[in-house]
Structure 1
Amino acid sequence: MAEENSRFKILIADDEDALRLLAHETLESEPADILEATDGEEALEMARREHPNLILLDVAMPGLTGFEVCQKLKADPATSDIIIVMLTAHGQGKDREHAERSGADHFMTKPFSPLQLLRLVAQIL
């Protein structure tokens, strides 16, 4: 059993309830505290307050886009070390390039399987 101080924090930021639920349920077996945000502004505020180890960040959200949130977090020395995985329903090269320019560490196309998510998180954390 993991010690409390060895737990990770993972923020799931997506406006789609079904995706947040899938990701949350998939990651419950991990030694992690799971946080959720439903829009870009909430994700930015929560990331600054909670400083998660990893953010699963949807590209298209109300308020600030995932790209904007990523740019702001990576530009701030207090949050620049947070690992960010951009999530998009569009696997097009332009989204991947935009994610890279925004400072994203990884990129994942939706929909994804629980196994794909677990593998990525295990690789990162």
Structure 2
Amino acid sequence: MIAMVARYALGVVLVLAVLGKARDFTAFRSSLVTFGIRGRMAEVGAFTVVTVEALAALAAFSPVADVVVGVMGTCLGASFTAAQTYLLVVGEEAPCLCFGTRERASIRTWARAALVLLAGLALWGAAA
């Protein structure tokens, strides 16, 4: 039961994240400058993030094994949590476009990223 809840919660969160970034893709791409990613690399990076999130969301709603979805969620959650931690530590005022809204990096945005990580870990652990 925990695996099913974690799987579908992860899928819904990732769908919302993809839709938010896709709605204002240019702003999302521009936000990567905070991490020193500019120009062509920002285009590739933004496209890669959205594509990986979309693939993970599709996997969550498909018959793919829980462990695969768990690994994908864990990797995405670890990346997002690391990015939010970086922004909080350096005191960066860059907007977070995590769900398509401009929002300053905060403990709230960090907690959302950590929840993606925890959902991935729960799936991965349940499959073991």
TM-score (norm 1): 0.26
Structure having the larger proportion of residues in helix = 2
Which structure has the higher relative contact order (CA within 8 Å, separation 6+)?
A: 2
Structure having the larger proportion of residues in strand = 1
TM-score (norm 2): 0.26
The structure that has the greater radius of gyration is 2
